[in-house]
């Protein structure tokens, strides 16, 4: 099954920001496009707005003047649904309410031919439930674009329970022909991106709620150590706290209030207070003109230790040994069964975040996971109240000698980057095990949909298949509420790392 022919008219119903963006994508790809909105005059206004954006593309030399003029000639606003009668594809981008969408598609079935592909851009509702109201649900798919649709490459092509393979394939190939990067997924709460991304927000909010660190510090650690484009507090301020919380609640309810998707009380209070982010001028941060952005906590300069003793290879942090030597510090290596730590001259121990609290040990300082220890510009350290100041000072001085800023946070098990990545990996592995999508499509979706530095399976291959499960086991042991409980799929995934032929 191939993509729709460029001569085939495409309709977009709903002319808000997303609807206009989808229409622009189809238009620039070469299709005749019909715009419809239930509000009188709205379709004409949207057509004018799209035309203005085409003008800007010409100014930026991304579109020729002739291409713009041809696109404008193919764009037609209509005032009645009957104006969509000859369309080969209708994409809906209206209010996120099941009853509204079902009513719209029932009406469309009376207008368009039986071979017209019907698609919803929903981000939070069940594609199966919307399509369940139709006479021919096999031709119904999800085409979930990301905002702004003309710029972001990802499209989730969602198959409902009744979607025909031919319909899903045609939608997939059409999205690809439009210059997008489609990923195929089954109809599951949150699809790929909004399901797998929940821990990016949830773990940051949990660290904040436990008084482990402030928003500016958490954001900085995830950016400068984890390699994420934006931190969760600044990102939700950009998205809108109400929008982000609504998606979280939708996924949580759809998974029958699974503890792993529990919404944040701190975010709820933010929404209740009307502090929705940039659009209201205040969210986690103050966005008023001239407002100063709070600085992340950064430790004062400290003297580096004269040497460190390496016990074990440090696992995912093994790159640190080369960096320490390059900084001119002595590394003494010592074999130690089960040891994967650095011992400081004063007797303190530096241990990579592993899901345990530092309160369990004497003079242990945990350091957080980094995407790339060489390239990271900030490292977070965690210690208990009883940890000796000398151990904290030596650990701080060591990382500062490597050219890193150091943020010292509270005794947070799993710290910030490590627990976030572990939980993202877990949800990704479970999604694949349940047939939601392939490993490659999950990685593609998370890199393109939310700009993650690595896809979850890329992280897992770098860290080791068993790494996430071991960290989450520790977290679940400390907090048996279930919010950090590793899935059965993650356990099976780790066991598949090597062939196990022995019988029990």
| Residue 123 known to be catalytic | yes
| Residue 156 known to be catalytic | yes
Q: Which DSSP letter does residue 174 get?
A: H
- Catalytic option among 124, 126, 167, 194: 194
- 409: alpha, beta or left, given left = phi > 0 and alpha = psi -120 to 50? beta
Provide the 3-class DSSP secondary structure of residue 472. helix
What is the C-alpha separation between 212 and 210, in angstroms, rounded?
5
Neighbours of 265 (CB within 10 A): 10
| Residue 161 known to be catalytic | no
Provide the 3-class DSSP secondary structure of residue 408. strand
426 in Cβ contact with 486 (< 8 Å): yes
| Residue 144 known to be catalytic | yes
Joined together, the tokens standing for residue 80 give 């009645």
What is the C-alpha separation between 66 and 68, in angstroms, rounded?
5
Residue (of 78, 57, 77) closest to 67 by Cα position: 57
- Catalytic option among 123, 225, 250, 487: 123
- Catalytic option among 92, 156, 245, 474: 156
- Catalytic option among 31, 109, 124, 144: 144
276 in Cβ contact with 299 (< 8 Å): no
Provide the 3-class DSSP secondary structure of residue 158. strand
What is the C-alpha separation between 71 and 23, in angstroms, rounded?
11
136 in Cβ contact with 164 (< 8 Å): no
182 forms beta bridges with 155
311 in Cβ contact with 340 (< 8 Å): yes
Q: What is each CA distance from 404 to 67, 117, 354, 363, 375, in whole angstroms? A: 50, 54, 21, 22, 9
Strand order in the sheet with 330-334: 330-334, 307-311, 341-343, 349-352, 364-367, 378-382, 405-409
- Rg of the Cα trace of the chain? 26
Q: What is each CA distance from 306 to 133, 196, 329, 477, in whole angstroms? A: 71, 43, 6, 37
Residues 75, 79, 81: CA angle, nearest 5 degrees: 95
Show which residues are catalytic: 123, 144, 156, 194
């Amino acid at each position: 099954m191939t993509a729709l022919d460029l001569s085939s008219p495409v309709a977009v119903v709903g002319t808000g920001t997303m609807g206009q963006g989808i229409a622009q994508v189809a238009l620039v790809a070469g299709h005749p496009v019909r715009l419809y909105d239930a509000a009188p005059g709205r379709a004409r206004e949207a057509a004018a707005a799209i035309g203005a954006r085409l003008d800007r593309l010409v100014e930026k030399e991304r579109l020729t003047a002739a291409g713009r003029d041809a696109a404008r000639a193919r764009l037609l606003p209509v005032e009645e649904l009957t104006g969509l009668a000859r369309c080969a594809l209708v994409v809906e981008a209206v209010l996120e309410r099941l009853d509204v969408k079902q009513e719209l598609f029932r009406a469309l079935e009376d207008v368009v031919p039986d071979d017209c592909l019907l698609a919803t851009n929903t981000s939070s509702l069940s594609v199966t439930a919307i399509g369940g109201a139709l006479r021919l649900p096999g031709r119904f798919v999800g085409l979930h674009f990301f905002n702004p649709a003309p710029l972001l490459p990802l499209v989730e092509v969602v198959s409902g329970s009744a979607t025909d393979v031919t319909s899903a394939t045609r939608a997939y190939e059409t999205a690809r022909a439009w210059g997008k990067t489609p990923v195929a997924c089954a109809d599951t709460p949150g699809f790929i991106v909004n399901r797998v991304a929940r821990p990016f927000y949830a773990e940051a909010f949990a660290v904040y709620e436990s008084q482990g660190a402030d928003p500016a510090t958490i954001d900085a650690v995830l950016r400068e150590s984890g390699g994420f484009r934006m931190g969760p507090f600044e990102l939700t301020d950009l998205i809108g706290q109400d929008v982000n919380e609504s998606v979280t609640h939708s996924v949580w309810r759809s998974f029958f209030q699974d503890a792993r998707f529990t919404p944040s009380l701190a975010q709820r209070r933010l929404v209740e207070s009307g502090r929705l982010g940039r659009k209201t001028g205040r969210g986690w941060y103050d966005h008023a003109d001239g407002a100063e952005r709070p600085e992340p906590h950064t430790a004062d300069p400290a003297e580096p230790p004269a040497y460190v003793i390496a016990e074990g290879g440090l696992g995912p942090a093994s790159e640190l040994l080369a960096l320490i030597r390059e900084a001119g510090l002595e590394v003494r290596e010592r074999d130690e069964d089960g040891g994967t730590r650095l011992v400081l001259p004063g007797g303190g121990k530096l241990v990579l975040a592993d899901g345990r609290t530092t309160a369990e040990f004497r003079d242990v300082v945990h350091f957080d996971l980094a995407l790339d220890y060489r390239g990271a510009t900030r490292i977070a350290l965690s210690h208990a109240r009883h940890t000796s100041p000398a151990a904290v000072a030596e650990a701080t001085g060591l990382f500062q000698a490597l050219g890193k800023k150091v943020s010292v946070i509270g005794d947070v098990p799993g710290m910030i980057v490590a627990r976030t990545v572990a939980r993202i990996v877990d949800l990704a592995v479970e999604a694949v095990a349940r047939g939601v999508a392939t490993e490659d499509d999950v990685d593609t979706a998370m890199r393109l949909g939310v700009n993650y530095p690595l896809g979850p399976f890329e992280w897992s291959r770098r860290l080791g298949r068993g790494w996430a499960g071991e960290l989450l086991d520790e977290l679940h042991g400390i907090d048996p509420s279930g919010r950090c409980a590793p899935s059965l799929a993650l356990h099976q995934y780790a066991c598949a790392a090597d062939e196990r032929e022995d019988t029990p």
